[in-house]
Amino acid sequence: MEKKKAEKKTVKLPKGALNTTNMLFLVSREFKRHKRYKTPFSTVTASIKQIIQNDEKRTPNTDEINELLPQFFSIIQPLLRDIDLAGTIISPEIFLALPMTDEMGARTVKVRILEKVDRNTFTVAGQEVNLSVRVTFLVPSEETKDTRAFIKQAMVEHYS
């Protein structure tokens, strides 16, 4: 008798979002530009924490994330400039690279995302729901030497 392997469900990338490979390449380029020319640079990381329905909160499963992520991404996209990069580094988080954006600008993007999530309802399995999201931002410090360390720091910040 043949054993069936459990299918691992993966989170699908929202339309218009850069995949991990492209995002890492472009973030690395922007980080190096920031270091070399001393230009402002920041990142924002956003993820769906919980679904709120009928005053009850629960953690979404992979199928629900796949349904919600494009909707979440679609409210973030209009907040971005044409030089900003949006994609994923560690799925299912949305990772935004904001060239020429300092800490105050990154904080503003964070607040705008949170406000948009509060003003919108989302649909999962045909039902209207609200979301609880986590949004963090990070500006590289002088001590941050390379892109890998910076991205790791952004992820630690997002999950702490």
Residue ranges and CATH numbers for the domains of the chain are 20-159 (3.30.70.270)
What are the tens digits of pLDDT across the range 50-107? 999 999 999 999 999 999 999 999 999 999 999 999 999 988 999 999 999 999 999 9
At residue 54, the 3 state secondary structure works out as: coil
CA–CA dist 34, 44 (Å, integer): 16
At residue 90, the 3 state secondary structure works out as: coil
Residue in this structure with the two tokens 């402002």, named with its chain if needed: 40
pLDDT at position 7 is 54
Q: pTM for the whole thing?
A: 0.91
103 phi and psi, to 5 degrees?
-60, -45
Task: Please provide the distance, in angstroms rounded to a whole number, between the alpha carbons at the two ends of the chain.
Answer: 46
Share of the chain above pLDDT 90, in %: 87
Is a pLDDT exceeding 70 seen at residue 2? no
- Would you say 30 and 95 are in contact if contact means Cβ atoms under 8 Å apart? no
Tokens of 58: 């629960």
